[in-house]
Amino acid sequence: MTHKLRPYIYITVVLFALGISIISCLSVNHSDISGQASRPSGNDKTITTLSNDLLESVNTDDNSISTSPSALQENNGNSTGHTQPEISDDSTATVASILQSEEEDAAAPEQKTIIEDDSALLQDIVTNNDPELTQDEVTDASAKPAPENKTEDAAITIFLSPGHGSRRPANEIGLGGLVYGASAGNTNEIRNVLTVSQRLKEKLEAAGYNVVMAREDNNSNPITDERIQMARDAGAVIGISIHSTTTLNSCWYQEIGGWRENNHSTSTVPGALGAGNTRVVFGGGQLGVDANVAQKTAELSKQYSTIITRERMAVEGRNVVNTSNASGSFSQSRGLTTFGNMALEMLLAEDVPWVYCEYGTGTSDNSMTDEQIDLYVKGLYNGILAIDYSAG
């Protein structure tokens, strides 16, 4: 009887062991890999219910009992159609692999994308994400090209007119019938203002400007008409008369209504004393220049003169008078061939903005020190560079 019951006892032991193994595995799986439930089904593993080692451990000396699942089914003698759970030899490795993976995931720090090159990120913004941005807007400011010199775009030409020069005959008839007197000026002034003009030209050209001078030496002295035409031909945006005197420190600008007329008491030129044609008025239409052009010229002249005056004062450290009224310098009492309240160059240049500059030397012979020359040059230079010629 006992012999007949032995197979059933063994089967019961095996099934009992099998149940314990299943419960143990399910317990481990539930507690340690519950987080895997949300993972894709491709990660699911078949859990081993009974390893071969367990079967070996319950084997007895009864050779008639097999440890294989198929043999157990046959010995049971039940053809109930129940299928034994699939047995996997690597179940222990599978569970360990899952646990190890969970531990590594928990221990690993959160990964972040590191941008090694900010320029690459900025380029990506421009290229892919924000079409409203341009490359210039995301490029470092230090990489941008420096602003172009304004003279490179406009071909700015400055006309410098050093006063006086070699002796010229008196009583030449100029524009509008005005009589030009003998012109030579003070010897020191002739020399000094040429030096000022030459140094100023060198600095301006180094800054990118075109510079044309009325005279390049002390052996020439073009008349007023010729100087103005030289400025026109050069396309100058401004004409600057450069003079010096013992006391007067000033800048003069053009103004509608400024005038000069022949001094009948000193003129000896026949016909120059004719009635009705001895006064020329700036903007009066006597020189064939449209009144609107003359008006614009006067406005620019005042603007430019104001800027040059300001810069000269800053450099020289003293007052510089800025005015349109030069009647004190060209009074009838001085015995000039023409008198009035405006310098001839300014009066006759109705289509070229002009500034007439005097440097007060403070010396009785109108001589200038090298330091004074440099101050005069620097003040004029700073003023010329400070002007915006785009409105001209």
Tell me how far apart the alpha carbons of residues 368 and 361 are, in angstroms, rounded to a whole number. Answer: 6
pLDDT tens readout for residues 283-302 = 999 999 999 999 999 999 99
CA distances from 37 to 29, 86, 329 (A): 11, 21, 105
Tell me how far apart the alpha carbons of residues 320 and 245 are, in angstroms, rounded to a whole number. Answer: 13
- Please state the pTM of the whole predicted model: 0.61
Tell me how far apart the alpha carbons of residues 308 and 322 are, in angstroms, rounded to a whole number. Answer: 9
Beginning with the edge strand found earlier in the chain, give each strand of the sheet holding 354-360 in spatial order: 210-213, 157-162, 238-245, 354-360, 250-253, 321-323
Tell me how far apart the alpha carbons of residues 248 and 325 are, in angstroms, rounded to a whole number. Answer: 13
User: For residue 263, what pLDDT is reported?
Assistant: 80
Tell me how far apart the alpha carbons of residues 134 and 132 are, in angstroms, rounded to a whole number. Answer: 7
User: For residue 274, what pLDDT is reported?
Assistant: 46
- CB burial class (10 A; 0-12, 13-18, 19+) of residue 106? exposed
Q: Which amino acid is at 154?
A: A
pLDDT tens readout for residues 338-368 = 889 999 999 999 999 999 999 999 999 999 9
Joined tokens for residue 247 = 């006391």
Q: Mind listing the domains of the chain with CATH numbers?
A: 2-107 (no CATH), 113-145 (no CATH), 154-391 (3.40.630.40)
User: For residue 128, what pLDDT is reported?
Assistant: 36
Give pLDDT < 70 ranges for the chain. 1-10, 13-14, 17, 20-154, 182-186, 265-277
Torsion on CA atoms 199, 205, 208, 214, rounded to nearest 10: 100
Tell me how far apart the alpha carbons of residues 161 and 12 are, in angstroms, rounded to a whole number. Answer: 127
Tell me how far apart the alpha carbons of residues 146 and 7 are, in angstroms, rounded to a whole number. Answer: 100
Tell me how far apart the alpha carbons of residues 301 and 377 are, in angstroms, rounded to a whole number. Answer: 20
